[in-house]
Structure 1
Amino acid sequence: MTPDSRRDTDMTTKKTTTKKTTTRKPKTKKTTTTQISLSPKASGKTGAKNLSAINAAAKVLSEAKEPLTTKQMIEQMAAKGYWTSPGGKTPHATLYAALLRDIQRKSEDSRFAKADRGLFALKK
């Protein structure tokens, strides 16, 4: 068998197929409506101002005498009731990133300073 004859054989055994196309029915979403109340009276936190994590960190650092790690800040924020994690697994990592972003973006106007590796303090 020569290479040319093999090629001819392959070409003759090739089958052509056609694909069948089907139309799918669009999926319908079942929607339910729930009312969420955002008023402070409904949540039971009247008079108390909810702080963000970065503002609570600034408050904790202002009360601390030395620089803190983000894990220490998160623990103190929760203990003092300033801020608690809404259920995240690594709130200290999120706070760390937020502090670094604040320092980089605001540079001289930032409230925070990096004191050492992993330690943050307020600017004086």
Structure 2
Amino acid sequence: MATKKTTTKKTTSRKSATAKKAPAKTTTKKKPAAKKKTANSGDKRMSALDAAAKVLGESKESLNAKTMIERMAAKGYWTSPGGKTPHATLYAAIIREIQTKGKESRFVKADRGQFTLNK
């Protein structure tokens, strides 16, 4: 009859095996005073949804998200901060606004992938 193999686990903690780190020094740095933004600030950037509403207001027909992104960039209202698919992000944001705000939304889905302003 064969003998049964048994293994024993060695319990070593990794903490004891590695060097102990010294506690992080806590230093308090004073943050510079935040600039107060006023309503008249010219440096405030427009959001993608606000820019899309402005582009749709200037347009006479319904537009898809890709066309809105192109027109927003051409007119200087909004530019993508480096994303690969800003049109997909804009589309999702418009759909989300329509779903959450309902009839009070700025946008209305006119056709498949096409949006207009809510009147």
Select 1:106's aligned residue among 101, 106, 117: 101
- 2:91 aligned residue: 96
Q: Deviations over 1:84-113 (max 9, x none)?
A: 111111111111111011001111100100
TM-score, length-normalised on structure 1? 0.72
Higher helix share goes to which structure?
1
Is 1:59 paired with 2:54?
Answer: yes
Flag the structure with larger Rg. Answer: 1
Number of residue pairs aligned between Structure 1 and Structure 2: 105
Please give the alpha-carbon distance, in whole angstroms, between the structure 1 residues aligned to 2:106 and 2:64.
Answer: 16
Please, which of 12, 25, 30 is the counterpart of residue 22 of structure 1? 12
Instruction: Give structure 2 stretches of 5+ with no counterpart.
Output: 25-30, 36-40
Q: 1:1-124, aligned counterparts within 5 Å?
A: 9=1, 12-25=2-15, 47-124=42-119
Amino acid at match of 1:76: R
Is the partner of 2:14 in helix, strand or coil?
A: coil
Q: In 1, distance between residues paired with 2:51 and 2:4? A: 72
- 1:13 is displaced (CA, Å) by 2.7
TM value normalised by structure 2: 0.75
Identical positions, percent: 68
For residues 23-81 of structure 1, give each alpha carbon's deviation from its aligned partner in whole angstroms, at most 9, with x where no partner exists: 224797x9xxxx9xx86xxxxxx724301111111111111111101000111111111
